[in-house]
Amino acid sequence: MGGRHGRQAAPGGQADPGKEYQRACPMVLLRYNPIGSGGGIAQFRRGATSFGGTDTPVEGRDAVGLGAQCAGGRIINLPLVGGPIAMGYNLPDVDELVLDAETLARIFDSRITRWNDPAIQKLNPGAELPPLAINPVHRSDGSGTTQNFQAYLADAAPDVWQHPAEKAWHGRGGSAEDGSEAVASAVNYTVGSIGYFELSYARELGMSTVRIDTGAAQPVAASTTTASAGIATADVIGRGKDMILRLDYQTSAPETYPIVLISYEIVCEKGNLPATLPALKSFLTYTASEEGQEPLSRIHYAPLPESVATEVRKVINTLR
């Protein structure tokens, strides 16, 4: 029994739960297709895969099953992987940098254009900020990372960021690159740049990342621990067995990083393919377990808070 998985992948650190599961259960074959969130959803909806993966939950009409896929049921979203969206930057001799939501919104909308702008200097007293032009780098392709970052800006700085939280980028100015790897590379090689991408890219490149002033006593760095704390602030807003999470982007809890991405596995509430259902439930159960979540932090992704993982495991047991 086996399933094929289409989900967004990032070289050198994207969380692939299938690898760990394959080691634990070599008798089950998983085929991992890194074709992007949109491709994974499309393949699942037409019945080509037993499950799919996406950084943006499937909702509304898109959650209605088609034909033999999810017959008599609907698509539901199960959160299984989380992680911080880091703000990597390239400023020689500036090893630490603090920004808040409003300042980030102005930077990525080209309203703040120099690194020594008074608004940035105020957040970094004592720092010698250069009079360099800021080059904010964003994704040119449709991206769940972009959607989550824009959702943070829209919720945490609503008076400044008035663009929609969509997969397409809506900020003004800056430069664009196709994929997180390209964004990270552009920031790494271009002095004065700042960009958003998964923490794994920053760690691989040895890049400095912004600490976020959330209103807590101390600014919060992007890490697997602080991202897990961010996920713990989320409310489940999906109906029934659907576990779509709504993050609290305005949290000021200590050591809680607010810019978090959650990857969902999409499955059928009922009407899953009978031939692969036992393997599907085995894979999901393992991935949501403590053993399955533990390796994520080693590749800079955030294990689910136990409160969330427990509810996910309950839903997995009911799949049919």
Asked if residues 7 and 40 have their Cβ atoms less than 8 Å apart, the reply is yes
pLDDT for 8 equals 31
pLDDT band at 35 (very low <50, low <70, confident <90, very high): low
pLDDT for 9 equals 29
Determine what percent of the chain is predicted with pLDDT higher than 70.
87
pLDDT for 18 equals 63
pLDDT for 273 equals 84
- This prediction has a pTM of 0.86
Residues in the chain: 320
Alpha carbon distances (Å) from 101 to 151, 157, 158, 290, 299? 11, 6, 9, 33, 26
pLDDT for 10 equals 28
pLDDT for 142 equals 85
pLDDT for 49 equals 85
User: Per-residue pLDDT averaged across 193-217, rounded?
Assistant: 97
Over residues 135-155, the pLDDT tens digits come to: 999 999 988 899 999 999 999
pLDDT band at 13 (very low <50, low <70, confident <90, very high): very low
Distance CA 267, CA 45 (A): 10
Burial of 95 per CB tally in 10 Å (0-12, 13-18, 19+): exposed
Over residues 159-172, the pLDDT tens digits come to: 999 999 998 999 99
Q: What angle do CA 210, 195, 262 make, to 5 degrees?
A: 80
Asked whether residue 2 carries a pLDDT value surpassing 50, the answer given is no
Other beta carbons less than 10 A from residue 216's beta carbon: 15
Distance CA 28, CA 283 (A): 9
Over residues 251-304, the pLDDT tens digits come to: 999 999 999 999 999 999 998 888 889 999 999 999 999 999 988 888 888 999
Beta pairing class for 29-33 and 175-177: unpaired
Over residues 62-111, the pLDDT tens digits come to: 888 666 678 878 999 999 999 999 999 999 999 999 999 999 999 999 99
pLDDT band at 201 (very low <50, low <70, confident <90, very high): very high
pLDDT for 20 equals 67
With tokens 């994704």, the residue in question is: 139
